[in-house]
Amino acid sequence: MSLPMDYDVVIAGAGVIGASTAFHLARRGMRVAVIDATGPAAAASGASDGAVSVASKKPGVMARLATASLLYTRSLAQTGGPLHGIYSARPGYFFATDPAEELALDSLISKLSGLGGPVTVTADGNGNIGLAGLGPTVRRLVTLTGEGHMLGFEAVRAYLSAANIETIWPDRLMRWEADDAGITVETSKGHLRAGKMVAALGVSSAALFPDLPVLPRAGQLIVTDRAPGQPLPGALTAASYLIAKTAERRALPNPPVVIDPLVTGQFLIGSSREDHGDPSRVDFPTMRKLVARAVEVWPALGARQIIRTFAGIRAAVIDGMPIVGAVPQTPRLILATGFEGDGICLSAVMGREIAAMVAGEPVTDGLAADISALTPRRFEIGEARSA
Ligand SMILES: Cc1cc2nc3c(=O)[nH]c(=O)nc-3n(C[C@H](O)[C@H](O)[C@H](O)COP(=O)(O)OP(=O)(O)OC[C@H]3O[C@@H](n4cnc5c(N)ncnc54)[C@H](O)[C@@H]3O)c2cc1C
């Protein structure tokens, strides 16, 4: 006897990836429930910056997916779209203070020209720097247009409220059992029956799949008070950030600081990349390095006060790409994790493509190879264990 279905799809994890997937499934007319062990944006999505940036991505699959997601995010931010008023366009600035960073800026320019838009280099920094207020150690500044920003927790709220989605929290995914007709999801509150499940658990995916090569990578951030005027029109990012994202994560002489002017008039200054998973660890040595470099390149910050510091935990995968696709042993379960420092940017396109996978439809033309490069099949996943 087959059990009655409560939902077409249960999504475990109300971060930005689970929320975008829920929005896109509901828009297809599916009955969707989203459960979370704590609440919406409780983990990385609520403790991050929100650069929707192609420039910062590794060349190849990640840069192409970011390009597609940037274009799609812009369309979702049009009047009537779920990200209207959440995503905002703004210029981006990448700076160099040492020769290694100058080289990274050259690579950035060639990467962006290879992608052929939508991000354009408006000033390559050879000659006039073109932004008043920089510190004297800045040797070169590349200015971009076409990118934007949205805060993770605002995007989660927007995706979840834009469609008819049932949300259940606190409710923890414990285990599941799939059969020919569906999947029974056991949670801390009871059982849910659905056709499919999407597990978008961020770094906690590793608790359910101990063999999954997902590792915690902490990032510390600083929030300042409101500046009276806002002379910095977009994020000011160290070129060492581009080096930190490449395969060789060697020790950088200058920390990969990002100075992000928020719409509130505050600055969000981040962030470190540390191989541990303790969100309560905010330490003086790391803060000192971030603050020192931030004030060095944007001296006006010296007049600001720090009102808050916090840390978020990214879910990093050993090959630097997310893990997205059906679990080989359990095709009714789709995994979506490992977005490291790119999940806010990729959320729009990944939610759309995961919804297509769930519906059994082909992913978007032109993205098929990139999406299939994210398959969990590239790793030995092993058996799941209960949370
Ligand atoms: C310091 C920092 C800066 C960043 N800056 C940027 C940036 O500028 N641009 C960008 O694109 N990205 C950035 N990121 C990365 C981005 O925040 C993440 O990639 C993204 O938030 C991941 O979303 P997610 O939905 O995969 O996971 P998460 O947001 O971690 O969500 C996972 C959810 O699963 C829930 N959960 C866990 N276990 C269970 C369970 N057993 N049952 C039910 N629910 C469970 C958690 O409570 C959580 O809500 C940054 C991250 C950090 C830490």
CATH assignment of the domain containing 131: 3.30.9.10
**Which residues span the domain enclosing 100?**
91-146+214-317
Within a domain: 64:
no
220 and 113 inside one domain? yes
Give residue 288's identity as a one-letter amino acid code.
R
Best of 36, 65, 72 for a ligand 1 pocket test (most atoms within 8 Å of beta carbon): 36
Largest CA distance in the chain: 75
Q: What is the mean pLDDT of each run of 10 residues along the chain (387 residues)?
A: 84 98 97 98 97 94 96 98 96 95 94 90 83 94 96 97 94 96 96 97 94 94 90 94 74 86 94 92 95 97 96 95 95 97 98 98 95 95 75
Distance from residue 133's CA to the centre of ligand 1 (Å): 34
What's the pLDDT at 165?
Answer: 95
141 and 231 inside one domain? yes
113 in the Ramachandran plot: left (φ > 0), alpha (ψ -120 to 50) or beta? Answer: alpha
114 and 251 inside one domain? yes
Whether the CB of 216 sits within 6 Å of ligand 1: no
301 with 226: CB under 8 angstroms?
no
206 and 232 inside one domain? no
313 and 326 inside one domain? no
Within a domain: 69:
no
The number of distinct structural domains making up the chain is 2
312 and 267 inside one domain? yes
174 and 300 inside one domain? no
197 and 116 inside one domain? no
Whether the CB of 345 sits within 6 Å of ligand 1: yes
Best of 339, 346, 350 for a ligand 1 pocket test (most atoms within 8 Å of beta carbon): 339
Q: Please name the residue whose Cα sits nearest to atom 16 of ligand 1.
A: 343
**Which pTM does this prediction carry?**
0.97
| Lookup: tokens for 150 | 């949205």
Q: Which residues contact 384 (CB under 8 A, 6 or more apart)?
A: 175, 176, 208, 209, 327, 330
Complete DSSP assignment for 19-64: HHHHHHHHHTT--EEEE-SS-TT-SGGGSS--EE-STTSPTTHHHH
What's the pLDDT at 1?
Answer: 53
Packed helices 343-358 and 152-161: angle between N→C axes, nearest 10 degrees: 30
